[in-house]
Amino acid sequence: MNSTRRDFVRSAFLAGAASIAAPVSAFAAGVTPKGQKRMKLSFRPYTLELKHVFTVSAMSRTTTPVVLTEIEYDGVVGYGEAAMPPYLGESQESAMAFLKRVDLSKYDNPYDLETILSDIDALAFHNTAAKAAVDIALHDLVGKLLGQPWYNIWGFDASKAPATTFTIGIDTADVVRVKTKEAGGFKILKVKLGKGNDKEMIETIRSVTDVPLTADPNQGWKDKFYALDMIHWLKEKGVQYVEQPMAKERFDDHAWLTERSPLPILADESCQRLSDIPKVKGAYSGIVIKLMKCTGMREAHKMLMMAKANNMKVLIGCMTETSCAISAASHLSPMCDWADLDGMLLIKNDLYKGTTVEEGKLVLSNRPGIGIEKR
């Protein structure tokens, strides 16, 4: 990072009276004359090593493959990341094949996020994590060029960032007890369910702590009557909401459940992108937004606004990711009802510093862009 250059851009920004005039004053100062600068995308594979074996209803794993991106423009670098847990259908190979097709050199204006990211989305049908890796790096770059963190650009109050859940994966009672004790600093815990030992998981955690819980069966419940009985029992145990109880295509069964449930039911696997919100409205109480599902910060912001306009609850979630993608997502969190942004805490080899968790609450960095720096 060229800090002299960045400071200069920032002082050009601060010198401008209104924030809306900032890009113009930066251009006017001759920092980024239109047509002379070009964005350059670079990327590399990286493997996240998990601190513990992580088990959800479908599978277990000890690593997560990611691809790290950088977009360089006029001496300023924006950072991005694609995280690809195997069950989502992307890999380092598919992400890098996609990123090779992204040509940012043809765009004059890095602030034109809408055009650039719409073009990138149109390059392929899926590849949502690879698209997010470009989106996040571009947002980081633009925030740095503006000299502002994204919560300010979006008009959010960073002090309203919620507590984050910390996830306890499915395991034996002994391991769950140890993990729950290790999670002592968190104000709310998320419990993975759906593998046939639901009550044992909850009772084991309750033998260690009485903090509020959330539950995520990850489509693992097969029967809506079992789901409703379990949700009533979970409410008695201090659970606040339940993610994706049954298979993602069972909209009618989820509508039946949501109508009767004493707890909010959130669509996670059922709601990937902005265009899914009208489909899940009425069948669920709210949605889970993840940058890797929805192509990044730009669409995530639109989903947040659409969900709020439709009186739906919003949980901002994550995969196992470095502090890069987690920090990016955290800029949306002040407007979300809940946050599940613990992914960087589950890995041993984080490369960045950014948003942190203090006494269970998300604390956003006031650095510009997504607010990260390399460790």
Interacting residues with Mg ion (CB under 5 A):
216, 243, 268
CB of 37 to Mg ion, least distance (A): 40
CB of 174 to Mg ion, least distance (A): 25
Q: Which residues, at least 6 apart from 8, have a Cβ–Cβ distance to it below 8 Å?
A: 31
CB of 170 to Mg ion, least distance (A): 13
CB of 284 to Mg ion, least distance (A): 12
Q: Which amino acid is it at 169?
A: G
Q: Which amino acid is it at 369?
A: G
Q: Which residues, at least 6 apart from 57, have a Cβ–Cβ distance to it below 8 Å?
A: 170, 192, 193, 194, 195, 217, 218, 219, 220
Q: Which amino acid is it at 221?
A: W
Residue 148 or 320: which CB sits closer to Mg ion? 320
Q: Is there a contact between 201 and 193 (Cβ–Cβ < 8 Å)?
A: yes
Residue 140 or 171: which CB sits closer to Mg ion? 171
Residue 268 or 321: which CB sits closer to Mg ion? 268
Nearest to 271 by CA among 117, 83, 128: 128
Residue 171 or 216: which CB sits closer to Mg ion? 216
Residue 94 or 167: which CB sits closer to Mg ion? 167
Residue 6 or 293: which CB sits closer to Mg ion? 293
CB of 54 to Mg ion, least distance (A): 13
Residue 74 or 243: which CB sits closer to Mg ion? 243
Q: Which residue has the tokens 């993990």?
A: 179
CB of 304 to Mg ion, least distance (A): 17
Residue 147 or 264: which CB sits closer to Mg ion? 264
Spacing of C-alpha 293 from chain mean position: 9
Handedness of CA 86, 268, 345, 214 (dihedral sign): negative
- The length of the chain, given as a count of residues: 375
Residue 121 or 243: which CB sits closer to Mg ion? 243
CB of 339 to Mg ion, least distance (A): 13
Query: CA-CA distance, 10 to 146, in Å (whole number)?
Result: 7
CB of 244 to Mg ion, least distance (A): 6
Residue 39 or 344: which CB sits closer to Mg ion? 344
CB of 216 to Mg ion, least distance (A): 4
For the stretch 128-140, what's the b/e string if a residue is b when 16 or more beta carbons lie within 10 angstroms of its beta carbon?
Answer: bbbbbbbbbbbbb
Strand positions, DSSP E, 22-176: 40-55, 60-73, 76-83, 166-168
Q: Is there a contact between 312 and 337 (Cβ–Cβ < 8 Å)?
A: no
Query: CA-CA distance, 58 to 248, in Å (whole number)?
Result: 14
CB of 219 to Mg ion, least distance (A): 9
Q: Which residue has the tokens 């919560």?
A: 151
DSSP type of residue 127 = -
Nearest to 351 by CA among 326, 324, 330, 369: 324
Q: Which amino acid is it at 195?
A: K
Residue nearest to Mg ion (CB): 268
Handedness of CA 287, 290, 296, 301 (dihedral sign): positive
